[in-house]
Amino acid sequence: MITFFNDSHQAHAPEFEFFRGERVACFETPERAEYVKARLTERGHHLQSAQVDSRAVLGTVHAPRYLDFLEHAWRDWLALAPGNDRCQPFPSIWPVRSLRSDIEPLNFIARLGLYSMDNGSPLSAGTWQAAKAGADAAASAAALVAAGHGGIRAAFCCSRPPGHHAGADFMGGYCFLNNAAAAAQSMRDAGAGRVAILDVDYHHGNGTQSIFYGRPDVLCISVHGDPLTEYPFFLGHADETGQGEGEGFNLNLPLPAGCAASRWFEALEQACQRICRYRADALVVALGLDTFAEDPISKFALRSGDFSRLGRRLGALGLPTVFVLEGGYAAAALGVNAVNVIEGFEEA
């Protein structure tokens, strides 16, 4: 399997976030990707850099005004007041329900609220650089797998920040650009008639669902914690099946917090059977590893060996596959769990 590593990921390094009302050190840190890189290198995997500029494909899965805001957000923040380089901006108002979102305010904090689904995605000086490089890696992986030269059927993107909570015009849940969406759209553009996205993160991939919700050419499936109790709360229910031409092409498999690994794998099998019935030409896996039993902010029970089983099941689908790293906050175990998926896939 070819592995892409986003060397620019360390540029996104906010100092703190808010968790249950408290200011805490960020859970989503540069160390996450470095642990995965170290394990990949130890196991003999060669890491390469992105070769594709994702700007064109990002313009098809994200709104232009959102991309413009995100690219220039740190510059605009610094222009507000002296000393802002020592502060992290957070939104304080959101355009919910009866408020308008079609007009972009001039006020920076108001625009930050317009383009945020929560206050859990702190910006830093290098956020755009890191997120854009991650999208470049996803697009590069998709291009390589779609071409199929040399018998390459899979690629893994070791990148951060993650992306699956980012919608067409908003950030959230540590996510800024939707790497899984960029990979799926890149594979469609390369000629894949039907692409399946399988999200196995503990948290529902609300951004990915919303981007493709009206489309039949991208099947979105997510196995995740029940949004009645788990983030992102307001999307991810089983009755969300798509709309318009996309009706029937979205499958959510919410599971109760604390459920056993055996039940999780039953849901995974249901997802795999749906991918087979869809007759997908290619697969994108939003590889969240926060289903690990020791994850500090999630509540599933998978152990490290279970990730090998996950990889083998996905490999058995026999599809050209792109993996993009999503969540997983037991950082020291992240490398082992990621490589177990990759090597399990290769064994299939």
Residue 25 CA, distance from chain mean position: 21
Interacting residues of 100 by C-beta distance below 8 A, sequence separation 6+: none
Determine whether 165 is an active site residue: yes
Q: Per DSSP, what are the bridge partners of residue 96? A: none
Contact 219, 196 (CB under 8 A): yes
Query: Which ranges in 190-297 belong to alpha helices (H)?
Result: 206-212, 261-278
Interacting residues of 96 by C-beta distance below 8 A, sequence separation 6+: none
The 8-class DSSP code of residue 170 comes to: B
Cα–Cα distance, 81 to 69 (Å, whole number): 18
Both structure tokens of 250: 């979205």
Low-confidence ranges of the chain (pLDDT < 70): none
Per-residue pLDDT tens digits for 337-347: 999 999 999 99
Check: pTM over 0.95? Answer yes or no: yes
Helix 304-315 to helix 261-278 angle (10° resolution) is 20
Per-residue pLDDT tens digits for 275-312: 999 999 999 999 999 999 999 999 999 999 999 999 99
Question: One of 9, 45, 62, 165 is an active-site residue; which one?
Answer: 165
What does the pLDDT read at residue 66? 98
Per-residue pLDDT tens digits for 219-234: 999 999 999 999 999 9
Question: CA-CA distances (angstroms) from residue 277 to 30, 191, 236, 248, 282?
Answer: 39, 20, 22, 12, 13
Residue 335, φ and ψ in degrees, nearest 5: -65, -45
Contact 341, 323 (CB under 8 A): yes
- Neighbour count for residue 12 (Cβ, 10 Å): 27
Q: What is the mean pLDDT of the chain?
A: 97
What does the pLDDT read at residue 150? 86
Both structure tokens of 158: 């070791």
What does the pLDDT read at residue 20? 83
